[in-house]
Amino acid sequence: AQSVTQPDIHITVSEGASLELRCNYSYGATPYLFWYVQSPGQGLQLLLKYFSGDTLVQGIKGFEAEFKRSQSSFNLRKPSVHWSDAAEYFCAVGFTSGTYKYIFGTGTRLKVLA
């Protein structure tokens, strides 16, 4: 069955430290991959997406993600976290055929220490 796993429910980092949020998926082919961010009380905003080509993709707000086919992973990274990055982050998978649905991970809540 298709699934998305975000193994870290909560992550705390200090401002200025680097960040990596993990995302693993289960699907028989290469899916479309997305990272969204949700600030408190807000809807979801797209950070970046991958569908083909270069496996390192750049997004907004200084985020990047790397697709690793061998590990079925699409981890989100940021070299230096800002206090305003505190939010919840969702990985999502879209499928290349047969369905127009998306599957979301359960989210990782990021806390940033001053």
Partner 1 sequence: NAGVTQTPKFRVLKTGQSMTLLCAQDMNHEYMYWYRQDPGMGLRLIHYSVGEGTTAKGEVPDGYNVSRLKKQNFLLGLESAAPSQTSVYFCASRLGGTGAYEQYFGPGTRLTVT
Residue 34 interacts with partner 1 (CB under 8 A): yes or no: yes
CB proximity list for 99: less than 8 A, separation 6 or greater: none
Stretch that binds partner 1, among 16-24, 46-54, 63-71, 73-81 (CB under 8 A): 46-54
Residue 22 interacts with partner 1 (CB under 8 A): yes or no: no
Which residues are paired to 59 by β-bridges?
none
User: Which of positions 49-108 make contact with partner 1 (CB under 8 A)?
Assistant: 49-52, 90, 92, 94, 96-97, 100-102, 104-107
Question: How far is Cα of residue 82 from the mean position of the Cα atoms in its chain?
Answer: 17
Indicate the DSSP class of residue 40.
T
